[in-house]
Structure formats: C-alpha cells, structure tokens
Amino acid sequence: MSARRRFPMRWCCGLARLPAACVIAAVLECGAARAQAVDYGTLEQIFGEPITDSVTGKPQRASDVPGDLTIITQDDIRRSGADNIPDILQFVTGIDIRRYGFGDAEIGVRGYDAPVNPRLLVLVDGRQVYSDNYGYVAWNAIPVQLGEIRQIEVLRGPNTALFGFNAASGVINIITYDPLLDNRNTVTVRGGTQGYGEGEAVATQHFGTTVGVRVSLGGWTATDYSQPAQVSTPASHYGSFNVDARWQVTPNLLLSASGGATDALAERNLGILVPDQGRLNYGRIGAAAQTGVGTLSLDAYRNRSLNDYGDIGYDSNDVTVVTASDLVRLDAANVIRAGIEYRNNSDSSPGVGGTVSYDVWAANFMWDWQISPLVELTNAVRVDHLALHYDGMLLETPGRTPESYAATLSAVSFNSGLVIHATSRDTVRIIVSRGLQLPSLADFGVQTNLFGVTILGSPRLMPVAVWNAELVYDRNLRWLGAALRASLFFQRNTDLIAGPGATMPELVDGKLTETFANVGSSNEIGTEIALDGKTNGGFRWNASYRYTAITDDIQHGVGVISATAFDVGTPRHVVILGAGYTRGRWEIDAQARGQTAFTDFADLAVKQTVPGYVSFNARVGYRALDRLTLAGTAEQFNMSRLLEGAGSYVDRRFIASATWRY
C-alpha cells in the first residue's frame, strides 16, 4: 500500500486502546468528516478485521454493521484460486449458485434463485452492474479485474432502503482499491483446461500526494462446458479496460472519475439458452465536500449495454443515475444521512417494438444512533416514485395503446437494525426490513410471439415486496480461535411476478395471449450457522450449514417455471467446509460444497431435477520470489462433470497461474 495520508502510528496505537465507538467517531472527525477517502488499510490493522462504509455511509467494523454481512478480502480471493466472482461466492454461507455455461452463472441469496434472477443487487464501488432490461446480472461482463478488488461485501436480506431497488434478497458490493491511498500493481496470467487462457494487469500511479490513478485491463477466452448434443458450444470470451482516478483538491474537497468498457460472449440462460454478445461501457464522476452542514456528496454515472442475442435480435439498455446526499454528525452519538436520487432506465429491442423506459425519483433518510458504547440502532427509510413511458410504434398486440404505458407507482422500503455488544465476546443483531424487487423493463413492456402465443408485459405490475425479520448472534470462541455466527430468519414475499408458463393464457381480440402478472406470495424460514477459525501456526478452517424451507401460495395455480416455483427451486440443505495452511512460502487451501437436490427449468417450462452433489476445490500456491507467486487450482476435482442448473454440465477444471507484484 502507498504511504499516502496514513494515520500516525502513535495515534493508531492510542485508538486501538479506545472503545470501538470512540475510535469510529475519531475517524469520522479526522477522515470522512473532512471529505477524504477512508483509509481501510490502517483501520484494518487497528481493529484486526475488515472495515466498510457501504451500509451507513460512515466507516464501521464488520462486527458493528446493522446487517448480516460477510466480507471477502483480497487474501480470501487469492487463496480461493478462483478466476471469477461466482466461483468465489459459491463458498459463502447463504449463497446459491447455478451455472449454465463457462460464462453464465446465477447467484441467489437465501434461495429464490432462478435462470434470470432479479432479486440481487450487484454493485462495483456502489455503481450498479445489475441489468434492468431483463433483471439479471451478467457476471462474466462485470468490468473489474480480480487483482484490483480490495474486498467483496455480501449483505444478506432486503436492503432496499439503504441501497435502492432490487436489493430484495441481498447486496453484493465489490470494493476496489483506492487509487489515491493504495498502491496496487499486479500482473497475472492464467491457463487451464477447456482451452482457457487469461491475462490481467493493474497499475497505479500517484502524482504528488493529492492525485491517484488506477488503470486495469484484462481478458480471457475458453471453450464452454459440456452441453447436450442439441445445444451449441461456442467459445466464450471477455475483455475489459477501466480507469479510476481520485483528486484530493483540498482537505475538504475530493473529486473522482472513472470509466471503462467491456466486451463479452457467453451462452446465457434467459429461460432458453441463447448466445449473448455483450458490449458495455460506463462513465462516472463524483465529488465529496465538507461544509458547515455536513459532508455533501454528489455521484453521477451512465451505463450503456448492447447485447446481441443472435436470432432474438439486439437489445440496448441505458441507465443514468444521479444521487446527492448529506452525511451529518449531529453529536458524538448521532449521525444522519439524507439523500435524493434520480434514475432513468430505457430499453430498446425487437421484443418491445420501440423503447420502454421509466424515470424514478427517490428520497432516503438514515439515522444512526449510538445509544451507548455497546448498543447502536440504525433506521433507514426510502420512498420511490416511478413513471413509465413508451416511445415508438407498438407491435401488433391486442388491447394495447401507447397510453397503456403511462403508468406510475410509488413504493416505500425500510431497514432497521439493532446491534447489541452484550459482552466483549457476544454480539446480537435484531433486523427488520422491507425490500422491493422492481419489475424489469421486459416485465413492463415486452411484446412478442412465442410458440403461437402473444406474450405481453404489464405496465400495471407492482413491485415484489420482501418482508424480513432476522436474529443474528455472534460469539468469539477464544478457546477455539474461532468466530461463530448463527442466524434465524423469516421472509414473506408478496406480489410475486410471473410471465410465460406461469400465468393463464386468455383470448384477447381473438389471439391467445399471456400477460406478466402479480400472482401470489411466498414464505421462507431458515437458519444459518457458520464457524471460522485460525491458529498462530498458520492453520485456518471454516464450516457452515444452511437450512431453508419455502412455501409458495400462487393464485393462478400453474407455477410451472422457476419464477413461481421457489418451494422446489431451492436446495433445502447446504454445507460448506474449508481448510487451509500457510508455511513459509507455501499456501494450501481446500473448499467443499454439498447441497441437496432442487428443481430447475429449461426452455421456459421444462422441469429438470438437479441432483444433490458434493464438489471439492483445492489450490496450492508458492511464493517463488518476494514479488512472484505461482499457483495451481483444481476445481470440482472429485467429479468429471455435474449439473448445477438445468440443461448444462459443469466440467472439472485445472488452472495454473502466475502473479507478479511490482
């Protein structure tokens, strides 16, 4: 890391002896309250645990966050041996994964996963990479290199009031190294089976003590996994270039800018397997200023994607987001944040005829109250107002006019979290929240014909509301050198959204028509238990178990696709085990995931049982030189191939890599 603006060691040692609440207060006064980037590295050294400011806007220890949070560090990423984010996440408690091809995966939090999963909000440094057109995440096209990631934050449960629409089941926020405070310079090459080859580079340049720029680029190519004979097996590829800059203009003013472009090709499951050639680019600017009325922040970005789905045609999705917020420290115990957001989202494709779009205005408010040094309460509320629009010529669809799309909706979400440090070793969290899953642009406005049936979106759709109550208990098991986390949660989902195969066809103007609709509700109860430990001798280990039971209540009684068959579409039991050992220049790590069977859906309405499985990964790393690390990884080495989702096999993989740090 760079020596830029580090806290003096004498001051750090003094902080380490203070209660956590007092330390964070001092950091706010000396760092964030002066519109300066949070020095994660120094704070992690002080506390011996990861730090985040994503949830409340102020820096917090992971153990103080008013939510069920797991932070995957850069060390965790390296030791996993994985070459992509889904393969890293599959060994995180509460995560469900379905792979449909080398470049296509779906991630769910606490069940409710699907071939196109609209419930998980994924961010890079707070910028949305979730695609609103069909409501999914193109994991293979995220514009970030593994070598520039500081940490991946996994927040379970609805968090719409804190992060925005579609944080319905959880949030994954990918945090990169700060180009002003960190000096991250790496080059990595990887190669392996399935014709896999990859290279990535990350370089950071500082100009004096006030300007920092990080540049990253990378790409890979591979043949796809084994597929059924009737499905093509294209070569997947990915290429990405990104720039991120920070300028500390004065101690009270910080400016930032970033941008990048990605090109990716994968076989994607959109209900049916289709080739997806995607080109994405983004630009972002931001400013933070310390004023007499708090720390004012302004952030604006634009995402643009163009996807070629082969015979289906092209899809163009544009997202523009502008946010403004004010973080105010009222006194030693109270921090508030108020903000407004404007969002414009549009989609043009053959499936919608013209352009379907919406404007969203949102207001949010958060109050963080340090009731005592051991008790903290955080409350957040958000109000969204959406106005839907349609431009262009409508397709020949029954019962629709352009005026049909002049619809509006308003929705309220909230998050409330109470953190109680009962003893020096015991922490209890009580969490209550209401999250929202916004209908995708396709849900609102699709107009197409499929197998002789006219498929229509519905401008009158309501968001899915996810009500959540959760109890989380943490205990430091000093005698075992481990940390225990146990959680019990209940969720109720109302106004579930369903489309083709799950709604009743009707005759409209003599045409058999099926319309997207809100079709019912679903309840979930579950528990998660996780242990993580390490010894002074270099041994580390982890173990977790997840149980969940889901009950659906679907009004139409059809429920033949995964959008409305969550009760059978989620593994009931998931076990994760891991162990690792570091000795001198050697690192050895192994992880295993076992889960019970579930039902997935291919070709929109064809059920397929995905058998339960146990899969093992292992990595051996050797630091050949102080700056050079060599590693070999075996993924799923106990099975030549297995099913993780309908219709597609996941093959055993072997990967070799070399990383040079300079």
Give yes or no for residue 582 having a pLDDT over 80: yes
CA 519 to chain centre: 27
pLDDT tens digits along 140-184: 889 999 999 999 999 999 999 999 888 999 999 999 999 999 999
What amino acid is encoded at 159 in this protein? N
Q: For residues 563 and 599, is the Cβ–Cβ distance under 8 A?
A: no
Mean pLDDT of 539-561: 81
For residue 203, give the 3-state DSSP assignment: strand
Give yes or no for residue 230 having a pLDDT over 90: no
What amino acid is encoded at 95 in this protein? I
H-state helical runs in 17-139: 20-30, 40-47, 74-80, 85-89
Strand partners, 435: 466
Q: For residues 21 and 62, is the Cβ–Cβ distance under 8 A?
A: no
H-state helical runs in 112-239: 160-163
Global pTM reads: 0.91
Strand partners, 171: 121, 155
Residue 111's pLDDT is what? 87
pLDDT tens digits along 608-640: 889 999 999 999 999 999 999 999 999 999 999
Residue 26's pLDDT is what? 52
Number of helical H runs and strand E runs in the chain: 7, 41
pLDDT tens digits along 281-306: 999 999 999 999 999 999 999 999 98
Q: For residues 186 and 202, is the Cβ–Cβ distance under 8 A?
A: yes
Residue 447's pLDDT is what? 83
Ranges 89-103, 459-473, 574-588, 608-622: which has the least confidence: 89-103
More confident residue, 406 or 235: 406
The 10 Å Cβ neighbour count of residue 299 is 20
Residue 3's pLDDT is what? 37
More confident residue, 239 or 607: 239
DSSP symbol at 395: P
pLDDT tens digits along 65-85: 999 999 999 999 999 999 999
Which uninterrupted H or E stretch holds 386?
Answer: strand 375-391
Residue 11's pLDDT is what? 38
Residue 6's pLDDT is what? 44
Query: Which domains occur in the chain, in start order?
Result: 9-661 (2.40.170.20)
More confident residue, 114 or 459: 459
Phi and psi of 294, rounded to 5°? 115, -175
Phi and psi of 549, rounded to 5°? -130, 125
